[in-house]
Structure 1
């Protein structure tokens, strides 16, 4: 199919209201406005050629596309490469959806990450343990029994968990990007488990719940990291007790008490576009891999899975190394001062120099030892390997350490 537009016809069909008004007033378009319109035209046609100059120019379009193509925007691509594993992650998600292998349309981000193969079942279980002291203890026992950590080094597991948690935000960005490109439908829904089982939470009620949580965190002077890493702190225990009571009192839009025990966010992800549109998505944002995709899809997928796993580990280890260097610098600059010589004499009677430094550092002795002995990075790498072993029964894996 072929179509030739005059400039006026092009503006009428593809221009914004502002561009239409500008053309009506001036009888022509500046280059910036014209190029902006051409980008939209290229989403509908395979070939777009400009003939002539000024207001008399004609635009020859051929090869009408069945599905709207992605808007070509170099800024989007370059921005999405800031995380090393973002591109292979895009590929994994796009091809998984293309093959329509998903069992459910709506799941939590964690379950979607497992569904797409971005994390293992065991890693998903580790991320869930943030909300369960019993489950967290199983993971602590697992890390100790595997020889990766010692009893006084369990805080390292919390730090590793925080690094792993970033995959959720990265997956959301991928899905949002695919939605903008017209590949999928993507929306969220809040769910809760209450006295009558699983229920969907009205957005307005959820807004109130989140507001109450923020106010309660402010009241008890805690932040999200405290709730994960400092579970035994008095202020965290006080917050959890009051938060549990607050949740149980939440009412629905009809004034009925829901008796909520816990809540979570689910995401609906539905493939909207055809296989051709998925290919154009990969062509636009993953152009280096397109030839392999066209010639051998299975090889393409396997290579991107391996690339993703390697680059994700590199990303986590970079952040771990940054923290390692930061802590070593803190230890190096650590100074201990006392109000009076009498205070110093009295305190040093009870504490060694090393104990005083550890108190000032506010850091677990075992993890500090890993930093000082340059074993911190090695242990972090071992945790990554431990939680990224595929092909086992997750339940049996944890039952073995209970």
Structure 2
């Protein structure tokens, strides 16, 4: 399956900050910028075709590579870290088990699939909303303080944990989806969806007066190319406007509590709500998101087919008692995941401490243990500096993760 995107869309997804700024300001798209972008695209996609010139360029992409390759200028990409073997072996089996047992075909978000397949708990699934809403973060943090899972003032540690762990699992989930699809074991279809809140007006007489009630009916729809083009135009026009021109793509997507970014999303949401479809009907869009439909494709037992090429030693165990195999596989995954999460936290803390000591060695003086305490966004670094980050992070993993105790 091929995907076609405009130059603006491609730069937003894969370009550097300099390239994004160039496009947003409408400056000349130079050959040097195009060559650098093409090197990046060639490392990500199996094929890239280009039609047109300048800002009228259209990029036609083939399948995305399972693993991002080295760039043609011989620089090595930054995603070469390996997950533990048990993690790698168990992940696809948990996915296939769910798909074999599933009765409906409703597309789900990646986080929805992670919860459905047992990679994250229901508690963690619900808490994921705090990644986008600081009000929810406050409520969740208060609950965790009462449960003695965090201390007062460690709100941002909760966000740090959920963002890191959900993003890591999400990326690996899509990586395994690609591997299973390439192995012709599953079919994968992605959709751009929208949550729509449609007003329903009910008028009636009560006490001799006309009463008008307005309720909202929630609908979930797949967006057509016509609607997607309108949404892209809204975002491009806002980013090119005088009011929001100074914002980078990183600002817009990462720093959602920044006042100007909040204004951007407020205006974007207002205009999205006014989008119409091909027939001229207003859609009342509240949220745009990606959803994925996954189906078993292999003609014979897909688990055997996968194990034959990836973990032959497990075939006898699976054949002798498949339910016992599924349970042990799941338990091994979550035990490995727990250790892996803590191990990565230890590495982050160690690296941060080493970097801070290096700064002190260069500049002289002592480490200021209180330098991060006045800023909630730096509280995590303060915990690292004091050597308390790993213990606090592990408590969250034990609370949100599966423990099988």
Q: TM > 0.5 between the two?
A: yes
Equivalent position SS for 1:358: coil
Question: Structure 2: how far apart are the matches of 1:117 and 1:154?
Answer: 26
Counterpart of 1:202 in structure 2 is: 224
Distance change (3 Å), C-alpha of 1:147 and 1:358: same
Counterpart of 1:276 in structure 2 is: 301
Counterpart of 1:138 in structure 2 is: 139
1:54-73 aligned within 5 A: none
TM-score using structure 2 length: 0.63
Contact 1:317 1:380 in 2 (8 A): yes
Contact 1:144 1:151 in 2 (8 A): yes
Report the CA distance between 1:279 and its aligned residue. Answer: 0.9
Question: Which blocks of at least 5 consecutive residues in structure 2 are unaligned?
Answer: 1-66, 69-78, 199-217, 361-366
Q: Alignment RMSD, CA only? A: 3.6
Distance change (3 Å), C-alpha of 1:106 and 1:220: same
Distance change (3 Å), C-alpha of 1:153 and 1:356: closer
2:389 is matched with which residue: 369, 373, 376? 376
Runs in 1 of length 4+ with deviation above 6 angstroms? none
Counterpart of 2:90 in structure 1 is: 88
TM-score using structure 1 length: 0.64
Question: Structure 1: how far apart are the matches of 2:261 and 2:343?
Answer: 30
1:212-251 aligned within 5 A: 212-213=234-235, 216=238, 219=245, 221=247, 231-251=256-276
Counterpart of 1:128 in structure 2 is: 129
Report the CA distance between 1:220 and its aligned residue. Answer: 5.2
Equivalent position SS for 1:323: helix
Report the CA distance between 1:113 and its aligned residue. Answer: 1.4
Distance change (3 Å), C-alpha of 1:354 and 1:220: same
Report the CA distance between 1:264 and its aligned residue. Answer: 2.0
Report the CA distance between 1:268 and its aligned residue. Answer: 1.1
Contact 1:90 1:174 in 2 (8 A): yes
Instruction: Tell me which protein shows more helix as a share of its residues.
Output: 1
Counterpart of 1:107 in structure 2 is: 108
Contact 1:160 1:380 in 2 (8 A): yes
> Aligned pairs, how many?
298
Counterpart of 2:192 in structure 1 is: 190
Q: Higher Cα Rg: structure 1 or 2?
A: 1
CA-to-partner distance for each residue in 1:47-79, whole Å, 9 max, x for gaps? xxxxxxxxxxxxxxxxxxxxxxxxxxxx99xx9
Question: Structure 1: how far apart are the matches of 2:132 and 2:143?
Answer: 18
Contact 1:152 1:364 in 2 (8 A): no
Question: Structure 1: how far apart are the matches of 2:262 and 2:180?
Answer: 41
Distance change (3 Å), C-alpha of 1:214 and 1:303: farther
Report the CA distance between 1:377 and its aligned residue. Answer: 0.4
Is 1:387 the counterpart of 2:393? The answer is: no
Distance change (3 Å), C-alpha of 1:384 and 1:129: same
Counterpart of 2:117 in structure 1 is: 116
